[in-house]
């Protein structure tokens, strides 16, 4: 039988990415090998999810060089983390959409909670009577719609327009190689009516952040661990990792994890820089202070002996 990812996940071929995700999460939880599920089935679920994820991959934003031209565009901000930028993650953006009727006034443009005045057209009756030669004719007042009164204030939510600017959410991938401050571009028709430009605002994710063009992982360790060159745990794009400090490593130097940094558009990777900052406590307990003094005296004596002897 042909490998059918939809059948394995138990969804219809018309399912969107949210349904696919939900189906995978549910089934993966239920059939996880850690919970006694069959490993083959779990792997088939995983593979199905990967296939469908790639098939439904959201459109990728582009890096825009230069300044937006013309006047038919929207400029917005996009807040993302350093990790999302480095891996070109999918992010949710909000873009303008067709206007929607104002829910506050129901599209009338008038403030339903504001003051009212008597309708002068029907003199508050709500109906207008015409007396003909044979019979009288009544019609609903076209000015007040039969209510006999008229709202005076314009709706504060839509400022009298009767509609609000619509917006919609889109899932898009960040372009590989983007850096903080870059302008990203969503062409018109790629989800929205007009072109949308986003200024990329990047926040640190844990200890990872961009410093200029480089992705840097910063670690803070106390001086005694630095002095002993003990292993340090650093955050990488692949999760926490224990690193050995080289014997001659000095404060202020960086370790370079080759090709472990952000992905480039061609699929290769940049380096990840690890900066190790040393922490000197400003206060010690009397006991720790004495031991530290002892150590200092010992080290100084050793140094003196070495230089004289």
Binding site for Zn ion (CB under 5 A): 102, 104-105, 119, 121-122, 141, 143-144, 155, 157-158
CB of 166 to Zn ion, least distance (A): 14
Minimum distance, C-beta of residue 111 to Zn ion, in the bound complex (Å): 8
Q: Which is nearer to Zn ion, 61 or 105 (CB)?
A: 105
Q: Which two tokens stand for residue 25?
A: 């999460």
Tokens of 124: 């508050």
Smallest gap from residue 130 Cβ to Zn ion (A): 15
CA-to-CA distance for 22 and 20, rounded, in angstroms? 5
Q: How far is the CB of 176 from Zn ion (least distance, A)?
A: 43
Residue whose CB is less far from Zn ion, 124 or 187: 124
Question: Toward Zn ion, which CB reaches closer, 61 or 102?
Answer: 102
Pick from 140, 158, 89, 147: nearest CA to 117: 147
- Please tell me the distance from the alpha carbon of residue 183 to that of residue 73, in angstroms, as a whole number: 13
The contacts of residue 196 (CB under 8 Å, 6+ apart) are: 73, 74, 75, 76, 93, 95, 96, 185, 186
Residue 207, classed as helix, strand or coil, is: coil
- b/e per residue 140-155 (b: at least 16 CB within 10 A): ebeebeeebebbeebb
Pick the closer one to Zn ion by CB: 157 or 214: 157
Closer to Zn ion at the Cβ: 102 or 257? 102
Cα–Cα distance for residue pair 223/102, rounded to 1 Å: 61
Could you tell me the smallest distance in angstroms from the CB atom of residue 151 to Zn ion?
11
Instruction: Using alpha carbons only, give the angle 292, 295, 299 rounded to the nearest 5 degrees.
Output: 140
Least distance from C-beta 126 to Zn ion, angstroms? Answer: 6
Is residue 148 within 8 A of residue 124, CB to CB? The reply is yes
Contact 155, 111 (CB under 8 A): yes
Min dist CB 102 to Zn ion, Å, is: 3
Nearest to 272 by CA among 88, 86, 89: 86
CA distance 43 to 51: 12
User: Which of residues 114 and 251 has its CB atom nearest to Zn ion in the complex?
Assistant: 114
**Minimum gap (Å) between residue 165 Cβ and Zn ion:** 12
Closer Cβ to Zn ion, 157 or 269, answer by number: 157
Q: How far is 179 from 183, CA to CA, in rounded Å?
A: 9
Compare residues 158 and 215 and give the one whose CB is closer to Zn ion: 158
Q: With CA atoms as reference, report the closest residue to 86 among 205, 242, 222.
A: 205
């Amino acid at each position: 039988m042909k490998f059918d990812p939809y059948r394995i996940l138990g969804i219809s071929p018309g399912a969107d990415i949210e349904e696919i995700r939900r189906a995978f999460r549910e089934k993966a939880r239920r059939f996880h090998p850690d919970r006694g599920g069959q490993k083959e089935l779990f792997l088939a679920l995983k593979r199905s999810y990967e296939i469908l994820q790639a098939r439904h991959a959201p459109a990728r934003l582009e890096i825009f060089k230069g300044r937006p031209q013309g006047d038919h565009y929207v400029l917005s901000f996009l807040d993302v983390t350093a990790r999302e930028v480095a891996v070109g993650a999918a992010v949710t953006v909000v873009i303008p959409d067709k206007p929607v009727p104002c829910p506050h006034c129901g599209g009338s443009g008038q403030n339903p909670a504001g003051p009212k005045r008597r309708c002068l057209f029907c003199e508050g009756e709500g109906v207008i009577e015409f007396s003909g030669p044979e019979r009288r004719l009544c019609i609903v007042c076209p000015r007040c719609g039969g209510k006999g009164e008229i709202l005076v204030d314009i709706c504060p939510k839509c400022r009298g327009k009767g509609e609000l600017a619509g917006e919609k959410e889109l899932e898009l991938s960040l372009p590989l190689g983007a850096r903080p401050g870059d302008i990203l571009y969503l062409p018109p028709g790629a989800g929205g009516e007009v072109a949308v430009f986003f200024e990329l605002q990047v926040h640190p994710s844990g200890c990872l952040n961009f410093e200029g063009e480089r992705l840097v992982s910063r670690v803070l360790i106390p001086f005694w661990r630095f002095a002993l060159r003990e292993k340090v745990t650093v955050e990488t794009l692949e999760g926490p990792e224990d690193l050995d400090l080289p014997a001659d490593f000095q404060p202020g130097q960086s370790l370079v994890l080759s090709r472990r940094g952000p992905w480039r558009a061609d699929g290769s990777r940049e380096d990840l820089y690890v900066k190790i900052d040393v922490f000197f406590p400003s206060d010690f307990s009397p006991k720790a202070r004495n031991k530290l003094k002892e150590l200092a005296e010992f080290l100084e004596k050793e140094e003196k002996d070495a230089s004289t002897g």
